[in-house]
Structure formats: C-alpha cells, structure tokens
C-alpha cells in the first residue's frame, strides 16, 4: 500500500468521529442519513456498521445528544463534542505548519 493510501485511510475511515461530530454541529442529523451525508460532504462512503458503532460510542460518551427529527432517531453534537472538534482542528493546524 502506498503511503498516501495509508494516510487517507487514517484520516477517513479510521477517524469517523470527526466527520460525524462535524455533521451535527449546526443541525440535527438522522442516523439513517449519516453515511450519505459523509459521502456528499467529505467524498467517501463509510461502512454502515462502523458508522453505527461510532454513533453509539459518541452518544454514550456524551459527545452527541439524541434527538428526534421527523419522528426518526437523530443526533446533534454537544458542547463536549464541539470542544473535541476544536482540539482536533488545532492539532491538524499545528501538524500542517510543521510539515
């Protein structure tokens, strides 16, 4: 596997939490539309089983709030989740400056 492929895997599939939390920053997102929205916004289609596992963990750890949207399960990113996203941005900016 080429180094760039390893990097892409590391920042995409292996870090779904970043994409999921960012989707829920500004509005409620239905569970069933997460994969589709990740594809539309970020350009890759994640594994649905992995998406469900990450959603479950984020909800249980308090990074997402459970909501209802049109009678369906949905979520919105909490303040705790927003702080994690901000820390991730700072780490990425620092890394980019060093590279």
User: How confident is the model over 44-62, as pLDDT tens digits?
Assistant: 999 999 999 999 999 999 9
Q: Please, which pLDDT band fits residue 66 given cuts at 50, 70 and 90?
A: confident
For the whole model, what pTM was predicted?
0.88
Most distant pair of Cα atoms in the chain: their distance: 47
Q: Rounded CA gap, 93 and 96, in Å? A: 5
At residue 23, the pLDDT reads: 95
Report percent pLDDT > 90 for the chain: 73
Q: Please, which pLDDT band fits residue 69 given cuts at 50, 70 and 90?
A: confident
Nearest to 51 by CA among 34, 66, 76, 27: 34
At residue 10, the pLDDT reads: 83
Q: Please, which pLDDT band fits residue 87 given cuts at 50, 70 and 90?
A: very high
Q: Which contiguous run of DSSP H or E holds residue 70?
A: none
């Amino acid at each position: 596997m080429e180094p760039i492929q390893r990097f892409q895997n590391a920042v995409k599939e292996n870090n779904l939490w970043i994409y999921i939390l960012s989707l829920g920053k500004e509005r409620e997102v239905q569970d069933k539309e997460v994969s589709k929205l990740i594809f539309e916004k970020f350009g890759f289609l994640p594994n649905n089983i992995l998406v469900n596992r990450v959603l479950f963990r984020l909800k249980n750890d308090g990074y997402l709030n459970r909501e209802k949207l049109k009678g369906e399960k949905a979520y919105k990113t909490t303040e705790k989740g927003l702080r994690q996203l901000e820390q991730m941005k700072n780490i990425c900016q620092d890394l980019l400056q060093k590279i």
